[in-house]
Amino acid sequence: MQDVVAWLKENGNLKIIDEPLDVELEIPHVAYIEVKTDDSRPILFTNPINRAKGIEYHMPVLMNIFANKALTEKIFGKHPDVIAEGIDELLKLKPPKGWKAKLAMIPKFFSLKNVFPKRLTFRGECQEIVIPKEDVDLDTLPILKTWEEDGGAFITMGQVYTQSLNGEMQNLGMYRLQQYDKNRLGMHWQIHKDASHFFDQYQRAGKKMPVTVAIGGDPLYIWCGQAPMPHGMFEMLLYGFVRNKNAQLVKSLTNDIHIPRDVDIVIEGFVDPETMEIEGPFGDHTGYYTLKESFPVMEVETITMKKNPVFAATVVGKPPLEDKYMGWATERVFLPMLKPMAPDLIDYNMPENGVFHNLILAKMKTLYKGHAQQFMHAFWGVGQMSFVKHAIFVGDDAPDLEKSEALTKYILNRLDKNKILITQGIVDHLDHSSSEQFVGGKLGVDATGDEIEDTVEELLDDVTLFEKMHMIDSSILEVKQYMQDTKTPICVIVVEKHMSMKMLSVKLNVLQSHIKLLVIVDKMNNDLDNTYMLIWRVVNNIDAQRDVILEPFITIDATNKNVFDGYKREWPGDTFCTKSVLDSLQEKGLIDIDEDFVRKFGLLPF
């Protein structure tokens, strides 16, 4: 994969767009639409421009590298399950007994020598062109502005290489980087990440922190950057294990950090621990804007690159996105690493419309009472799994975790409020629903075991139920019921919010013979016929401690929170496309969408 573009032409059905398109909104919008189509393809934009700055860039932009499952598997060179089997075998290695067993181990140990990165003593292809500090200009790079309300242009697929103060630990992370001007970038490494921990070390020591950002190269570098490796383990070890060959690293020119020799662009610099600047807002992978916040600033010392570099980027916003396919690979590869702390775990799935950290579905073999609750605590106590807000556990007789309709029925037939655990723990830096940043409610559902006995006493049709509800409170505008053939039908209502939903729930208690599970959403931008986006909205918008009521029926308040709820933080807005940009791209024949597509994926407000 020395030439990723050539490889994608041959293996990925690469779409090439030669039309000059703006890095502000136009290119990101095309990529955003493409990744939501059934036959999503990677795209190469050969003529990126910036109309506002009058720039015609001299390098193409490559997007949607992980465009689908088949392409992701080709990037790995094998199915992720095969990699998982190798990890599982490695974790179960035992000292060999007898000379035959020792001989059989030789190939395994021989292959492990390829795991460790190799540090080269010469320059790499990524250093063929060197731009000294006095000539550094980030405007020469086609850095994208994805959303209208973004605080500026952001590098979205930067491989951020950092090292601990003593130089003994190195880390690769994928963090967004806001361009402030010609030589400064905002470093959005979140508080729980290794790079942020390294930054704390430099800050306490009063020393500048070296940082090197790489763009492009083998797409597997990108995946490794977001992989949930254990603390202190360099992600390039994972690269070596997957590729079965050493990652070849070269030293940065202005610091001691090593980066892959074959990346396209390298940005080197230092972070002054005493300098912070407002970063954001940014339309993030949650589908919401993350708000303005102070983050460290990187001052660029030099930029190096290949002779003919390609600028890799991704677009984030509402699902589905290419992180759907990157996340699928991560799920499969890391399953063996979860099993040592949850040995009766069979499988797990993080649905893309749960934006990964908001919802996990897990299948397990239950051996005793409380086993599922034990697993909940185990999940919430390990690595990046600790950010998961909602965990639902099913038994080994459950349908495949990706068969959503059958699985939903299985869960609803076993949903017992006495087997629901609500607790508190850390939440992702990007989470907006909790009343306090970084800490919020956790919801665990034990849906293992036999079907429950009780069901709705008197199931009403939607029209009759709406009439009864609307008479109780006129702020209720719509009602729709789902899965009415299960023991726990779901009733979703749309409201014009003018009070706490706890008060509304109390009012509706008189209808408890007709309701078992009530979900409340706002009128604005919610479509009761679009269950995919409703799930996205619900798991994004709730803090279980505040928004889940278990008596007399289960109520989930998925409305936007405000003063009625005692919520004092700023509630962020959705990521929406710019209609004029969509219309222009449609006229040029660069996208092909209709009103159904727009509503299905929440592209525009309604």
Amino acid 442: pLDDT? 95
Q: Quick one: pLDDT at residue 479?
A: 98
Do 303 and 162 lie in one domain? The reply is yes
Query: Do residues 279 and 151 touch, judged by C-beta distance below 8 A?
Result: yes
CATH number of 394's domain: 3.40.1670.10
- In a domain, residue 11? The reply is no
Separation CA 84–CA 79 (nearest Å)? 9
* HEC-encoded secondary structure of 326-394: HHHHHHHHHHHHHCCCCCCEEEEECCHHHCCCCCEEEEECCCCCCHHHHHHHHHCCCHHHHHCCEEEEE
Residue 575 belongs to some domain of the structure: no
Classify residue 252 by its DSSP letter. -
User: Is the residue at 250 inside a domain?
Assistant: yes
- 560 within a domain of the structure (yes/no): no
E-only strand ranges, 11-114? 15-17, 21-22, 43-45, 48-50, 55-56, 61-63
Q: Is the domain of 162 the same as that of 306?
A: yes
The answer to whether residue 243 sits within a structural domain is: yes
The domain boundary residue, chosen from 294, 312, 330: 312
Domain count along the chain: 2
Residue 423 lies in a domain: yes
The answer to whether residues 354 and 320 touch, using CB atoms and an 8 Å cutoff, is no
pLDDT at 372: 94
Q: Which residues contact 359 (CB under 8 A, 6 or more apart)?
A: 350, 351, 388, 389, 390, 391, 392, 535, 539
- Are 280 and 131 in a shared domain? yes
Do 163 and 256 have their domain in common?
yes
**Per-residue exposure over 144-172, b if at least 16 CB sit within 10 Å of its own CB, e if not:** bbbbeebbbbbbbbbbbbbbbbeeebbbb
Whether 289 and 382 map to the same domain: the answer is no
Nearest to 301 by CA among 260, 262, 257, 263: 257
Last-in-domain residue among 312, 332, 362: 312
pLDDT at 337: 82
Is 114 in the same domain as 260? yes
At residue 436, what are phi and psi to the nearest 5 degrees?
Answer: -125, 130
Q: Longest Cα pair distance anywhere in the chain, in angstroms? A: 82
Among 414, 430, 447, give the residue marking a domain's end.
447
Q: What phi-psi label fits residue 152: left (phi over 0), alpha (psi between -120 and 50 degrees) or beta?
A: left
User: What pLDDT does 97 receive?
Assistant: 65
pLDDT at 106 (0 to 100): 57
pTM flag (> 0.75): yes
Give Cα 288 distance to the centre of its chain: 12
In a domain, 224, yes or no: yes
User: Do 208 and 296 fall within a single domain?
Assistant: yes
Segment-wise mean pLDDT, segments of 10 residues, the chain, 606 residues: 88 97 98 96 98 96 97 95 84 62 58 85 96 97 97 96 92 94 92 82 93 97 89 88 93 96 97 93 95 95 97 96 93 87 91 90 94 90 86 96 96 96 92 93 96 93 97 97 97 96 95 97 96 96 96 96 94 97 97 96 95
**Whether residue 256 is found in the same domain as residue 362:** no
pLDDT of residue 258: 97
Judge whether 183 lies within some domain: yes
Give me the pLDDT at residue 133, please: 96
Tell me which amino acid residue 243 is.
Answer: R
Structural domain span for residue 239: 70-77+105-312
Same domain, 293 and 222: yes
Same domain, 266 and 387: no
Q: Which pLDDT score is estimated for 109?
A: 56
For residues 361 and 259, membership in a common domain is answered with no
- Please check whether residues 299 and 406 belong to one and the same domain: no
> What CATH number did the domain enclosing 209 receive?
2.30.110.10
Distance of alpha carbon 153 from alpha carbon 147, whole angstroms:
9
CA distances from residue 280 to 8, 27, 185, 284, 295 in whole angstroms, order as listed: 33, 20, 12, 10, 10
